[in-house]
Structure 1
Amino acid sequence: MEKATRKKKLGGYPAMGVVFSITLALFALGLFGTLMIYSREFGKMVRDNLNVKVYLKSTLTETQRSQLEKTLLGKEYVASGETALKYISKEEAEKDLVAQIGDYKEILGENPLKDAFIVGIKPGFQDTTNLKKIKADLETVNGILEATYEKHLFDAVNKNFFNISIVLIVIAVIMLVITFLLVSNTLRIALFSQRFLIRSMQLVGAKRWFIQRPFLFRAAGYGLLAGALTSALLWMLSDYSQKKLPDIMLVHNQQHFLLLLALLLGTGMIVAVISTFFSIHRYLKMSLDELY
């Protein structure tokens, strides 16, 4: 009895190895993408705590202070939300001072502190040039005695986060290139078994698009499946991590994370299709001798 042979199908090649390789590449890319999200959220947390302290004149009435608060909230560089303004009375400041150094009244007498506003600054205005302008602008506002900020802290944050951003961007580009090369090599090896079938189609007069189409459609499906598997794995890993380490919730942005998963779906499909296109194009250009 003759051994049954399986007929090769145009566009057909081993699915498991291809999907596994694409999933592995996308998973590594997804982990790095998650790290970038966490890094960005951590940077936002740090920047939200950078502020300018505004000391008020002692002669201000309650009505004038309320008006001053509205004036400050109207400034374009003042942050929005809970971090915009925080009022600290001189009595509150005195309690903090006593907690730090003890009772100072025997030396200094009456409370020397001033009422103050802690003014949150939008991230786009936290560079050295803008902070100087902000300080000068605030000190021209009626009722403000002085505006101060920790220059060295702002400079250190700006410098460190700029350097980190550059490093993350470079690594992201490298990761994308590695992902493309890995998927491309995997698909090229997978398509190697189809090279004679591709040549046979050429010999009977089939157009290039007619030959490429089934391969590209199948590659798109494999890429989409790999992207879905990667998204599911990252979702489960993220959910497990948040349960084991609740502090991760502080830097986890659900909206950005879902966007990352959607991008992985698209990336898997696009990289698979592009890699397949170039791999088939290579075989279409080969001579018969080069196929062996």
Structure 2
Amino acid sequence: MAIIGVAIVLFLIGIFGWLFLSGSRYMKHLKEEIRIAVLLQNNARQADIDSMVAQLKSRPFTRNVAYIDKETAKKQWMNDGGDDFNKLIDENPLPASIEFNVSSEYVNKDSLINLKNELAKNLLLVQSVEYPAALVEKMGPAMKLILIGLIILSSLFAILSIILIDNTIRLAMYSNRFLIKTMQMVGATRSFISKPMNVQAVINGTIAALIAIGAIIGLIYLFEWLVPDLRLLRDNGKLTLLFIILILTGIGISVMSTFRSITKYLRMKLDDLY
């Protein structure tokens, strides 16, 4: 029963951890979807354009740098449901542009303003630098608040879970109180008494963690089967780290709770055990 109780608590910790990891990855994905467009002058030279594209690609924080010529811009406009302006004017009014995304760490008000000002200095090449500034300004504080909330909830849940696991183990050890006291009375040392129980605690903690991990993996695959887009949020590296933490938590708390119980019963008088 102790193994099942610990497994249930570890399962709940793991699910909360998975939700935290998925939420963090989703927020990162939203930030990296922000597209920045450098609108180019109509008389911009191709050599200067190629130079800026190469420069942007060399930056460690840029992603998906692409040059959009005037004809491609027109096709995108039409595909997005825009009116065919050739019916009104002969010339294509849409400028060529260089578009790119940036890494999530760079998607904040100050960083993007600095980048915009840097790119806009090249007046012979750049008309303007456009990105959804209002969205970026709102996104930062909102995501920070959500992340802080998740961290606080995760911490509180982890503390409560540790207390529950500790109580579960100590309750299971209660049935061994007379065995512990009897071994002490016949002259067994503390290490001799605790060693087999600590070994069993390690085994039980490992089994409980593996049961919890198996259930978590099954639930993750179920949700990903129901909502295929969730697969994009999976980070196998961080999930593996989460599972290792669950195993260490299961073992650590089981051993500590067992040690505390053994120490408690060794210090108690025989009459107090009844």
| TM-score, scaled to structure 1 | 0.84
Give the deviation of 1:19 after TM superposition. 0.7
* Structure 2 match to 1:24: 8
Aligned to 1:235: 217
For residue 91 of structure 1, what is the amino acid of its counterpart? E
Letter in 1 for 2:264: R
Unaligned runs of 5+ in 2: none
CA distance in 2, matches of 1:119, 1:190: 59
For 1:31-110, list aligned pairs within 5 A: 31-79=15-63, 84-98=64-78, 100-105=81-86, 110=91
Tell me, what secondary structure is at the counterpart of 1:92?
helix
What code does the residue aligned with 1:215 have?
M
In the alignment, which of 111, 115, 118 is matched to residue 137 of structure 1?
A: 118
Residue 91 of structure 2 aligns to a residue whose secondary structure is coil
Given candidates 210, 213, 216, the residue that maps to 2:198 is 216
- 3-state DSSP of counterpart to 1:59: coil
CA distance in 2, matches of 1:51, 1:274: 51
Q: What pairs up with 1:256-267 in 2 under 5 angstroms?
A: 256-267=238-249
C-alpha separation in 2, matches of 1:49 and 1:85: 13
What is the distance in 1 between the residues matched to 2:237 and 2:131? 33
Q: Which moved more, 1:200-209 or 1:55-64?
A: 200-209
Which one of the candidate residues 222, 228, 238 is aligned to 1:246? 228
Per the alignment, do residues 221 and 89 of structure 1 end up closer, same or farther by CA in structure 2, a change over 3 Å counting?
same
Residues 224-283 of structure 1, C-alpha deviations (whole Å, 9 max, x = no match): 011111112222222233333322222223333233223222221122112222222222
C-alpha RMSD over aligned residues = 2.2
Distance 1:240 1:288 in 2: 52
Hey, what's the Cα distance between the residues in 2 that align with 1:274 and 1:228?
19
Q: How many angstroms does 1:22 deviate by?
A: 0.8
- Cα 1:197–1:288 change in 2 (3 A) is same
Task: Give CA deviations for 1:179-238 in whole Å, capped at 9, x if unaligned.
Answer: 211111111111112222222333344433332222211111000011111112222222
Secondary structure of 1:60's aligned partner: coil
- State the alpha-carbon separation in 1 of the partners of residues 102 and 241 from structure 2: 28
Contact 2:32 2:107 in 1 (8 A): no
Deviations 1:25-65 (A, max 9, x none): 01111111221222122122211111322111222232322
1:187 paired with 2:166, answer no
3-state DSSP class of the match of 1:117? Answer: strand
Letter in 2 for 1:41: R
Q: Percent identity?
A: 27
